[in-house]
């Protein structure tokens, strides 16, 4: 399946190993990765890109590379991935934005485009976001795109997480 169509400011592209330098730089940034256990090494970034490529083959969607529409500059990634929470697999919208570009609405714009894609192209009636309690910015993005807080739980690493959930076909206004 093709990635989501461009927004006014962003384009979506399938990740390739040719993007490894950009992705390794993104995931090595401690600010981008502050809600992870640690910034990623180059090998962990390669594994991320390869995971994304497997998702495209197996599911037709995954995390897409985000670029500014006007300049082609890397923004980060955003997309739809299967995630298991409390024994149930759901599709999650997730994103990472370069630290120098955070606070400009790119995560919200990209996540909104993915929410629309989840409803229109995939026919999903449930979309989730799994967010650590300290990540207030991502919680705001989830709420802005129509995913209210559903519950607190623990992830597969026994970390406390919040699950935001909603019907992506419902209006988020």
Domain range summary for the chain, segments of one domain joined by +: 10-166
Question: Rounded to whole angstroms, how far apart are CA atoms 72 and 11?
Answer: 8
Are the beta carbons of 54 and 74 closer than 8 angstroms?
no
> Which residues are CB-contacts of 43 (< 8 A; sequence separation ≥ 6)?
none
Helix 106-120 / helix 136-144 crossing angle, nearest 10 deg: 40
- In CATH, what class is 10-166? alpha beta
Q: Terminus-to-terminus CA distance in the chain, angstroms?
A: 28
14-54 pLDDT tens trace: 999 999 999 999 999 999 999 999 999 999 999 999 999 99
Q: Give the tokens for residue 19.
A: 């993007």
> How do residues 60-102 score in pLDDT, each as one tens digit?
999 999 999 999 999 999 999 999 999 999 999 999 999 999 9
Taking the C-alpha atoms of residue 69 and residue 94, their distance in angstroms, rounded to an integer, is: 20
* Cross-strand bridge partners of residue 129: 164
Alpha carbon 24 to chain centroid, angstroms:
16
Residues 6+ apart with CB under 8 A from 90: 82, 83, 126, 127, 128, 165
Is the full-model pTM beyond 0.85? yes
Residues of the chain with pLDDT > 90, as a percent, come to 95
In whole angstroms, what is the distance from residue 158 CA to residue 92 CA? 18
Q: What is the pLDDT of residue 109?
A: 98
């Amino acid at each position: 399946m093709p990635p989501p169509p461009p927004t006014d400011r962003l384009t979506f592209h399938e990740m390739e190993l040719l993007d490894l330098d950009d992705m390794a730089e993104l995931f090595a940034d401690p600010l981008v990765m502050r809600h992870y256990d640690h910034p990623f090494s180059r090998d962990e970034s390669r594994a991320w890109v390869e995971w994304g490529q497997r998702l495209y083959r197996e599911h037709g969607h995954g995390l897409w590379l985000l670029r500014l529409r006007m300049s082609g500059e890397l923004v980060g990634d955003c997309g739809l991935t299967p995630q298991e929470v409390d024994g149930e697999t759901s599709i999650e919208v997730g994103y990472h934005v370069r630290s120098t570009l955070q606070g400009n609405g790119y995560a919200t714009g990209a996540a909104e485009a993915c929410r629309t894609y989840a409803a229109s192209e995939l026919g999903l009636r449930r979309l989730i976001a799994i967010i650590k309690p300290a990540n207030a910015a991502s919680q705001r993005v989830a709420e802005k795109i129509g995913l209210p807080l559903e519950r607190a739980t623990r992830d597969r690493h026994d970390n406390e997480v919040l699950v935001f959930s909603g019907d992506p076909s419902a209006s988020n206004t």
